[in-house]
Amino acid sequence: MKTISHLVACTLLASASTAFAHGSESHAATSASAPASTAVTKEQKDWGIAGDAKQASRSIDLNMGDDMRFSPAHFSVKKGETLRLRVLNKGQVMHEVVLGTKATLAQHAQMMLKHPGMEHAEPYMAHVAPQKSEDLVWHFNRAGSFDFACLIPGHYQAGMTGTFTVTD
């Protein structure tokens, strides 16, 4: 019963903070109005680098919902593979997926709690409005075990996390 109460409280908190943290639109909708010359900055991260959609070898659907869970909660890729993550928000509130390490995600989650109005867009994240989808294309060029999470205030704290493995 305590877990259900916690999830309800987190959902209510998320609903209230969503309008301030990321608005009601996905970043792709926002970036569609940006100049066509706006290019994705490719910065090497521990978990890879922004990928080129033309180089994607396959797609994986990554579903998010108001139960504060991802499905699948784990996926695997081969080192050197470029993957299109089709991020689908099946819920009624804004959700996001952010790729990273446990440490970077925990640090970013704390920052989001302190500054819920902070806007940000990086190639390793997708902010998805309710009942919408976004593509996140990533080149997995570093082997290891990594993480992903929804960092909207309350969602990460409710356990909205997952893992991915990059194999040699």
Query: Residue 38 domain-assigned?
Result: no
Q: What percent of the chain has pLDDT over 70?
A: 76
pLDDT for 88-109, tens place per residue?
Answer: 999 999 999 999 999 999 999 9
Contacts of 91 (CB under 8 A, 6+ apart): 64, 65, 66, 130, 131
Instruction: Indicate the residue type of 153.
Output: P
Query: Residue 128 domain-assigned?
Result: yes
Show the domain range for 156: 2-21+44-167
The answer, yes or no, to whether residue 165 has pLDDT greater than 90, is: yes
pLDDT for 6-57, tens place per residue?
Answer: 444 444 344 434 333 444 444 443 333 333 445 678 999 999 999 999 999 9
CATH number of the domain encompassing residue 69: 2.60.40.420
Distance, in Å, from the CA atom of 44 to the CA atom of 16, rounded to the nearest integer, reads: 34
Query: Residue 149 domain-assigned?
Result: yes
Distance, in Å, from the CA atom of 109 to the CA atom of 157, rounded to the nearest integer, reads: 8
Tell which residue, 164, 155, 163, has the closest CA to residue 69: 155
What b/e readout covers 1-27, taking b as 16+ CB neighbours within 10 angstroms?
Answer: eeeeeebeebbebbeebbeebbbeebb
Query: Residue 31 domain-assigned?
Result: no
Query: Residue 65 domain-assigned?
Result: yes
The pTM score is 0.79
Token pair recorded at residue 84: 């299109």
Query: Residue 39 domain-assigned?
Result: no
Query: Residue 14 domain-assigned?
Result: yes
Residue-averaged pLDDT of the chain: 83
Query: Residue 138 domain-assigned?
Result: yes
Cα-trace Rg, the chain? 15
Tally of structural domains, the chain:
1
Q: What is the pLDDT of residue 55?
A: 97
The answer, yes or no, to whether residue 121 has pLDDT greater than 70, is: yes
Q: What is the pLDDT of residue 5?
A: 45
Q: What are the strands, taking DSSP E only, across the chain? A: 49-50, 58-64, 70-71, 74-78, 81-89, 95-100, 125-128, 133-140, 144-149, 161-167
pLDDT for 132-158, tens place per residue?
Answer: 999 999 999 999 999 999 999 999 999
Q: State the residue for tokens 């920052």.
A: 111
